[in-house]
Amino acid sequence: MYKKSIMKRLLIVTITAVTLCLSCQHLEFVPGENSEDTEETRKPLEITPNSLQIAYNEGFYGIYTSEEQWGECTVLSPNTVRIDQVNYIRKLTNEEKNQIGDSISFRIELYAAYDEWDRNANSWYFKVPKGTTITSKEDLEGIGKFPLIIYTTPYFHHENEFNHITYERNISAYAQDLRDPESDIYIQYEVESNPQKFFSDTIPYCDQPGFRADIFIDTKDKGTIPNTVTNVYVPLISRNLEEGEEVFSTSFKLGEDIEDAYIWYTSSGHGSKEEARTRQHLVSIDDKEVANFDSKIACTPYEYYDEINPWGRKCPGCTWRYPTRNWCQGGEIEPRILKLGSLAKGTHTFTLDTKQMNDEGVNKGINTVTPIAGYLSTNAVIIGRKKSTK
């Protein structure tokens, strides 16, 4: 039988659809166009190492419960709105933005209580014009989001104490955008859960979240940094792709030439065997192949995942033994960096083709064109540097 380790703290560092081109989404966001932001409007910042706390002990409740239940639960963090039982948004103040240095990481201290299934856990940031009111999921429709940490929740039985896991990722590439004084910046974070299935009706609903979390942006700089914008950020997709969206395409517009550009990309399959399937991911810009890779990964070492998932999958005493799949339970969906090089000012097209399935775990489906059975949770962002005119 698996013995629980004394050490619980772990560190993991580490767009609709176009099938036969049914319709294409056009992003209105035009980086670099009509910007009034200049070096003169941004004074240098004096930065010291700090931990900017985004969330304090926030709870994530049952995905199958109603607002009548979770609507009564207290939001503990400042400048924060709960938009459903597993989703929060947190606006950064001007003072907080000025604490963000150039060398930063996004850190989640997750406390897992119970869930017998895999759930999605996502953190993004998004930006809107100053003064825009965001209080509901409907207000988020059409807003491009930038992924911070994407992961799946651990299996954990409610009989046990909260299991503490640390997720951390370097997000220095986003630092300039997070400080943008011309926009309101929000952090959105969600951890899906279903804790009510085996919890007692005698326990108040708000006292039995599936997960709790403390969230931070950690700055490691010390000294004076220039508060200028040399990067361009383009959100491409941050949603689930479903059957009929095996080939997805969207157009985007650049207001200026960029160089050293790349795509920050994550994708994971869920539902109806998609978690065990591995698909070929063909990524193109303007019909030119950028990357072509298989999503298969190995969930090793076993001891690492046994630590995150101390009771295995729905069976006390079981240990983690998935040899390969497209994500690992309790682990981060690590971003792939897909290099683009230079992109010219103007309109471009991003295309993602996932129709070819390479493997379906136990039930083989090698090299077949297969519809998405559940969904592919997908995020893609272009990051590039404004081309020098010198």
Give the residue from 198, 227, 256 where a domain finishes: 227
Position 209 scores a pLDDT of: 86
Position 198 scores a pLDDT of: 61
pLDDT in tens, 51-93: 999 999 999 987 887 788 888 899 999 999 999 999 999 999 9
Which CATH number characterizes residue 104's domain?
2.60.120.230
The verdict on residue 19 lying in a domain is no
Position 12 scores a pLDDT of: 31
* Containing structural domain, residue 307: 1-6+229-390
Q: What phi and psi values does residue 330 have, to the nearest 5 degrees?
A: 85, -5
Position 382 scores a pLDDT of: 99
Position 197 scores a pLDDT of: 62
Residue pointed to by tokens 């000012």: 345
Q: In the chain, which stretches have pLDDT less than 70?
A: 1-41, 114, 157-161, 196-200, 311-324, 359-367, 390
Contact (Cβ atoms closer than 8 angstroms) between residue 59 and residue 211 = yes
* Domain tally, the chain: 2
Pairwise CA distance, residues 250 & 214, whole Å: 35
Q: Are 276 and 213 in the same domain?
A: no
* CA triple 180-381-356, angle to 5 deg: 170
- Written as one string, the DSSP assignment of 284-310 is EETTEEEEEEE--EE---HHHHHHHST
The verdict on residue 14 lying in a domain is no
The verdict on residue 241 lying in a domain is yes
Task: Pick the closest to residue 69 from 236, 261, 226, 203 (CA basis).
Answer: 203
Write the CB contacts of 74 (distance below 8 Å, at least 6 apart in sequence).
206
Position 298 scores a pLDDT of: 81
Q: Are 246 and 357 in the same domain?
A: yes
| Eight-class DSSP state of 195 | G
Position 366 scores a pLDDT of: 59
pLDDT in tens, 280-328: 999 999 999 999 999 988 887 777 777 787 766 555 566 666 666 788 8
The verdict on residue 267 lying in a domain is yes
Q: Are 221 and 274 in the same domain?
A: no
The verdict on residue 91 lying in a domain is yes
Q: Are 302 and 320 in the same domain?
A: yes
